[in-house]
Amino acid sequence: MRKRRHRARLALAVAAATVLGAAGCDAGGSPAARGTGARAAEAPVWNRSPASIAAVGDSITRGFDACTVLSDCPEVSWATGSDAQVESLAVRLLGAEGAAGHSWNYAMTGARMADLSQQMADAASRDPELVTVMVGANDACRSSTRAMTPVAGFRADFEEALRTLRAAAPRAQVYVASVPNLKRLWEQGRGNPLGKEVWKLGICPSMLGDADDLGEAAEHRRDQVEDRVVAYNKVLEEVCAADRRCRFDGDAVYDYRFGTDQLSHWDWFHPSKDGQARLAAIAYRTVTAAGPAA
């Protein structure tokens, strides 16, 4: 009888150890934070009030052409800028003083998805609680549709960028903005003669080239670019969904019905200050929402 009771207690102990061992890891397989079991259970996967922000991406996040022609203007960046009219995501979350000391902008004008891994490594060096991502327009904005980044390559580069971040900052949260609707940019800007002249300098030729050409070949070219943007956004959504500390905006940036007031009056393509403010508002809603975008 004593031997049976001993075996029963041993089995219960083994079962308890198995359960406790499973509780010591989060859904991603990484060790849970040390402390009481109750505290670990209460810790939210998504913190709606992160205390530091690092931004990665392309010219949009650098505020390109929002202040002066052909120049970055990071102070109006939707992600980390200090401009009061924009009220960036960092300012909305941290306040002006907090944003000044606890937000960093590693985006680069002209960057494509292939450049994101290095930016993630730079951002991770700050150990931020939140990393914002807006990239992909330059992968579609190429010299021709043939030169656009293949969807498979876009996916592989995004996955590699997230692995780079996770290796150095496993608990950092990630907000991913969708690629803007480039065809709407063409529709809104092509009515401005100055804008069309600037476009001829080489701004997004795959979409904006021959802006007044409404022929079948030109329309087919623009549709190809638009289809590629939609495919990129699907990749962003799927890869982000596989990471429990990542939130995609649910195509909110892509779906936003921006007008000419939200476009730079230098190039009628990049966001103006008003456009940057709209991007900041979309990001803030996504980051502070009770759950991921539907």
* Secondary structure class of 115 (helix, strand, coil): helix
Separation CA 41–CA 27 (nearest Å): 12
What token pair was written down for 114?
Answer: 């292939």
* Secondary structure class of 108 (helix, strand, coil): coil
| Average pLDDT over all residues of the chain | 88
Q: State the amino acid at position 126 in one-letter form.
A: R
User: pTM for this structure?
Assistant: 0.85
Q: Which tens digit of pLDDT belongs to each residue from 259-270?
A: 999 999 989 999
| Whole-number pLDDT of residue 17 | 37
- pLDDT of residue 222 exceeding 90, the answer is yes
Judge contact between 204 and 263, C-beta under 8 A: no
**Low-confidence winner among 27-31, 128-132, 141-145 (lowest mean pLDDT):** 27-31
- pLDDT of residue 257 exceeding 70, the answer is yes
DSSP per-residue string spanning 11-22: HHHHHHHHHHHH
Cβ-in-10-Å burial (0-12, 13-18, 19+) of 252 comes to: middle
Percent of the chain with pLDDT over 70: 85
What's the pLDDT band for 29 if we cut at 50, 70, 90? very low
CATH code 3.40.50.970 for 50-288: no
| Whole-number pLDDT of residue 294 | 75
Q: Which tens digit of pLDDT belongs to each residue from 156-211?
A: 999 999 999 999 999 999 999 999 999 999 999 998 888 888 899 889 999 999 99
Torsion angles phi and psi, residue 246, rounded to 5: -130, 140
Domain with CATH 3.40.50.1110 in the chain: 50-288
∠ Cα 92 93 98 (to 5°) = 100
| Whole-number pLDDT of residue 250 | 98
| Whole-number pLDDT of residue 21 | 36
- pLDDT of residue 59 exceeding 90, the answer is yes
- pLDDT of residue 27 exceeding 60, the answer is no
Q: Which tens digit of pLDDT belongs to each residue from 279-294?
A: 999 999 999 999 998 7
| Whole-number pLDDT of residue 45 | 86
User: Kind and range of the H or E element at 53?
Assistant: strand 53-57
Separation CA 86–CA 78 (nearest Å): 7
| Whole-number pLDDT of residue 293 | 86
Separation CA 252–CA 263 (nearest Å): 17
